[in-house]
Structure 1
Amino acid sequence: MATFAVRIFKRYASFGVTGSTAALLSLGLIATPALAKVSQAEADKLKSELTPVGAERAANSAGTIPKWEGGLKTAPPCYKGRGTRYCDPFPSDKPLFTITKANLATYKGQLTEGQKALFAKFGDSYKMNVYPTRRTVGFPDFVYEATTKNALNAELTNGGESLNGAVLGIPFPIPKTGNEPIWNHKLRYRGVGVDRWNNQAAVTTSGDFNLVKIHEQVKFLYDTRGITPEQLDNVGIYFMQVVTAPPRLAGQITLVHETMDQVKEPRRAWQYNPGQRRLRRAPNVGYDNPGTGADGLRTNDQTDTFNGATDRYTWKLVGKKEMYIPYNAYVVHSDKYKFKDIIRKGHINQDLPRYELHRVWVVESNIKPGTTHIYRKRVFYVDEDSWQIAAVDIYDARQTLWRVQESHLIGIYDLLGSGPVLETVYDLQSGRYLAQAMNNEDPETSEKNFEVNFFDPANVAKQASK
């Protein structure tokens, strides 16, 4: 015990914390301050000037971002019912204009550094078709009610790694610190669970790619109606991923129990290798370890744009900004297009994505002293209506822009909510990129209420070995 305390004392001293303060920290006698919780007066804004999840209700002064009217609550005539493809509710919409390298200067104030870098790298082949802004994202009333409660009760402790007093709704609809929009993204409402295909393609500089087919089953325990924070038993999400192709990867399974308080207990993870026929604990599933089948183009914490612990970074809430981001991506999600129609040399087929002007929260993260990650800095752009991270600028150890992420979302009009239907990770240095979260050639994502024991390691091991 004494040796452990000395090690911790020395660690704090190495960060410039010395004397009695380091001693108290090493013994856990100084509590880190709790973050968040807003006053009743601030929470009341969720029923007036703010939407029930914290976005601005009003249109912007130019009228280019419309007033929020509750989201898209009615399925369009083209939709054939639960379990079928989500079709485009706005087939008659035409681009307002197209951003190209030639007119980039006119719009650069509403673009991320990463987006501007893509124009610089790919010249005349890269463009962004900008459409009328449609604020299609809304959530069920019970999510709104829970969000109001969370605004009054939710808090972060242990340096932002321990979430307390929140369940079901957005934890921090009126964010005060940089950690909070990231937690909102991680726990945004997506139904009780999903059964989906998350296919990915690592694309070479010539435009060739190998498709990795991934079947995922997820239970969002945090989103269970009537559950209390205590009943979560420190687990917010259960996740299982099975690779079905190519043959060299087929049969690999990753199982994750995503803990709410990662100081109390880090993420629980297991992996099954069909060659070994054993499910083993996998503490390396997280942070900057390579993602499954991604050919080194993404890290584990880039799944769903960002996931997992935030403890290796400091987080700064820069503020809110109007920016052009991928949105209402029903066309690029259409089953009329094959993967080969979407994937092109250098970047995806930019005739298919839809960009719109939306307000986003800008969050900057920088690597903490004494920790490691291949990404020294990341800048996140978080959509105010959905709390989904829409884009990320990623910097290497030299503070050079390295990679660019985008997440193309759709509004889920039959269940209410939103979800990504295509995610990209562009490597500016190698010229390669990763396209993931695609299911154009597979069944549509469906909501499914899994039992918790479905994700029990013993059950997964038993099913895998059959």
Structure 2
Amino acid sequence: MQTRPAHALPSDHGSRFVSRRALAARSRTSRLLRTTALSCALLMPGMAEAKVSPEEARRLGTDLTPLGGEKKGNADGSIPAWDGGYSMPQPAAGKERDPASYKLLSDDKPLYTISSANLAQYKGKLTAGAQALFARFPSSYKMNVYPTRRTARTPNFINAATAKNAVDAELGNQGESLVGAVTGIPFPIPKSGIEVIWNHKLRYRGTSLQRWNAQLAVQANGAFQPYVLREDVLFQYNKPGITPESLNNVALYFLQFTTAPERQVGNVVLVHETLDQVKEPRRAWLYNPGQRRIRRAPNVAYDNPGTGSDGLRTNDQLDAFNGATDRYTWKLLGKREMIVPYNSVKLLDNKLKYAQIAKAGHMNVELPRYELHRVWVVEAELKPGTSHVYKRRSFYVDEDTWTILAVDNYDQRGTLWRVQETHQVQLAWLDRVGPVCGSVYDLQSNRYLLQEMSNEAPLFKDVEFNIDHFSTGSVQRMAER
């Protein structure tokens, strides 16, 4: 029996074998057809992401936490097993922001401190952004690394909804449409990068609250002027008992009043954050007290400059990332053990003045707390034919809370441009996480932004807002009072 050469195929024209050139051409054609078919499938509006099987979903609460993190610790014990998270009675009035109230954390001492002198020892567990800050500030920048405390904990209704979402949730419209999920984490056992980002956007932060958000655009010499915002938020998606149908395609309602500086007082931003932003883009309005009218604001999205940021962040960088995902492709690179900001109770302290936090070059390095945690790593690449100031973004997402803890943002040349971190604390009497400070370091301008701070402002409070509070008519009336 004659053996056919590995490169030979029957010819369409009667000859027994085809040439290598013909084979290559046919292979290219075959690949093109497969690629075209795949592209068409991905572009189909009704195309949905695969669901998790009931068998796999049963891992939640067994070897996985209720939200999908690994319960077990790591091999050397430096990351402990999750034991249910951190819970405690509400501190006495006025003590909610006293670090001493958080007994699990307040007595901890750093295990070690990373500086430029020993950086090489820890590089493998640091983001590119963290390494860039050591390079920029070799004599003053450092990271105090504390024992890892897996404090994450959520209410039972969030855990139950997450288990249901695991087998019901789907994505359509190229990832911009969430189907069959409500209240809990939509994809606790993620199979793609975009699912991880959806988990961050819809993680539990309460259901209805009022908070203060001070932003400090810190100049190279350390000077800043606080830009203070009062923000009313209704996290409609997270309300217990709500159904996907009753959301009316809105995940959250957001109302932002500027309270300082004086020249900006009275400016208002209103946002209805839609779930499917292909079907209906984010609804946004601006109220200007000089014009005394509210108007639509389609530019409150994507890479337009964020309110009060002095051009140091884009709109979609508030809360590390928010809004539509359609300008990027999202690749899930897997999970890594990394040193990230976590449990930063010192930054929560309302005895601190902003001048004690913001320093020339970078924030006061004695205040942030870093720990070793497992994070999901997601790489976002700008799609051809779309625009954004960031060509590439690397996201590092906590496995226990689904909070984006760090972001590396790259410019159009592929050069690291802005380094972002989220410092958070488990509000242990409320079973939820809250931000205490976000930072965005601009490596090109030698300036940085601190945001989502409230040390010199009132404590957040849970307020039962209804949807009418977030209507344009209501905003106009409130602004004119």
The whole-number CA distance in structure 2 between the counterparts of 1:435 and 1:30 is 41
Match of 1:343 in 2: 358
* TM-aligned CA deviation for residue 83 of structure 1: 8.8
* TM-aligned CA deviation for residue 205 of structure 1: 0.6
Match of 1:426 in 2: 441
Give CA deviations for 1:402-445 in whole Å, capped at 9, x if unaligned.
00000001001111010211000000111100001110011111
The whole-number CA distance in structure 2 between the counterparts of 1:364 and 1:447 is 35
Report if the CA contact (8 A) 1:83-1:446 is conserved: no
Match of 2:209 in 1: 194
Report if the CA contact (8 A) 1:82-1:414 is conserved: no
TM-score, normalised by the number of residues in structure 1 = 0.92
Q: What secondary structure does 1:47 align onto? A: coil
Equivalent residues in 2 for 1:32-431, closer than 5 Å: 32-75=46-89, 79-81=91-93, 84-85=96-97, 87=99, 88-89=102-103, 90-431=105-446
* TM-aligned CA deviation for residue 37 of structure 1: 1.4
**1:320–1:29 CA distance, 2 compared to 1 (3 A):** closer
* TM-aligned CA deviation for residue 465 of structure 1: 1.9
The whole-number CA distance in structure 1 between the counterparts of 2:423 and 2:350 is 16
Higher alpha-carbon Rg? 2
Give CA deviations for 1:295-320 in whole Å, capped at 9, x if unaligned.
10000000111000000000000000
* TM-aligned CA deviation for residue 31 of structure 1: 4.1
TM-score, normalised by the number of residues in structure 2 = 0.90
The whole-number CA distance in structure 2 between the counterparts of 1:82 and 1:254 is 30
Report if the CA contact (8 A) 2:45-2:174 is conserved: no
**1:245–1:151 CA distance, 2 compared to 1 (3 A):** same
**1:120–1:29 CA distance, 2 compared to 1 (3 A):** closer
The whole-number CA distance in structure 1 between the counterparts of 2:475 and 2:154 is 32
Percent of aligned pairs with the same amino acid: 58
* TM-aligned CA deviation for residue 41 of structure 1: 0.9
Report if the CA contact (8 A) 2:346-2:367 is conserved: yes
In the alignment, residue 227 of structure 1 is paired with which amino acid?
I
In the alignment, residue 196 of structure 1 is paired with which amino acid?
R
In the alignment, residue 262 of structure 1 is paired with which amino acid?
Q
The whole-number CA distance in structure 2 between the counterparts of 1:356 and 1:83 is 24
**1:414–1:316 CA distance, 2 compared to 1 (3 A):** same
**1:29–1:236 CA distance, 2 compared to 1 (3 A):** closer
The whole-number CA distance in structure 2 between the counterparts of 1:111 and 1:29 is 36
Q: What secondary structure does 2:150 align onto? A: coil
Report if the CA contact (8 A) 2:420-2:439 is conserved: yes
Report if the CA contact (8 A) 2:43-2:173 is conserved: no
**1:384–1:30 CA distance, 2 compared to 1 (3 A):** closer
Match of 2:13 in 1: none
The whole-number CA distance in structure 1 between the counterparts of 2:94 and 2:165 is 30
Deviates more, 1:66-75 or 1:287-296: 66-75
Report if the CA contact (8 A) 1:403-1:427 is conserved: yes
Q: What secondary structure does 1:405 align onto? A: strand
The whole-number CA distance in structure 2 between the counterparts of 1:236 and 1:351 is 37
**1:128–1:83 CA distance, 2 compared to 1 (3 A):** closer
**1:246–1:30 CA distance, 2 compared to 1 (3 A):** closer
Provide structure 1 residue ranges, at least 5 long, that are not aligned to the other structure.
Answer: 1-16
Q: What secondary structure does 1:324 align onto? A: strand
**1:29–1:199 CA distance, 2 compared to 1 (3 A):** closer
* TM-aligned CA deviation for residue 462 of structure 1: 1.5
**1:83–1:278 CA distance, 2 compared to 1 (3 A):** farther
Match of 2:464 in 1: 449
Report if the CA contact (8 A) 2:344-2:425 is conserved: yes
Provide structure 2 residue ranges, at least 5 long, that are not aligned to the other structure.
Answer: 1-31
The whole-number CA distance in structure 2 between the counterparts of 1:29 and 1:334 is 49
Give CA deviations for 1:172-202 in whole Å, capped at 9, x if unaligned.
0000011011111110011111210000000
In the alignment, residue 433 of structure 1 is paired with which amino acid?
Y
* TM-aligned CA deviation for residue 75 of structure 1: 3.6
* TM-aligned CA deviation for residue 81 of structure 1: 4.7
**1:69–1:241 CA distance, 2 compared to 1 (3 A):** same
CA RMSD of aligned residues (A): 1.9
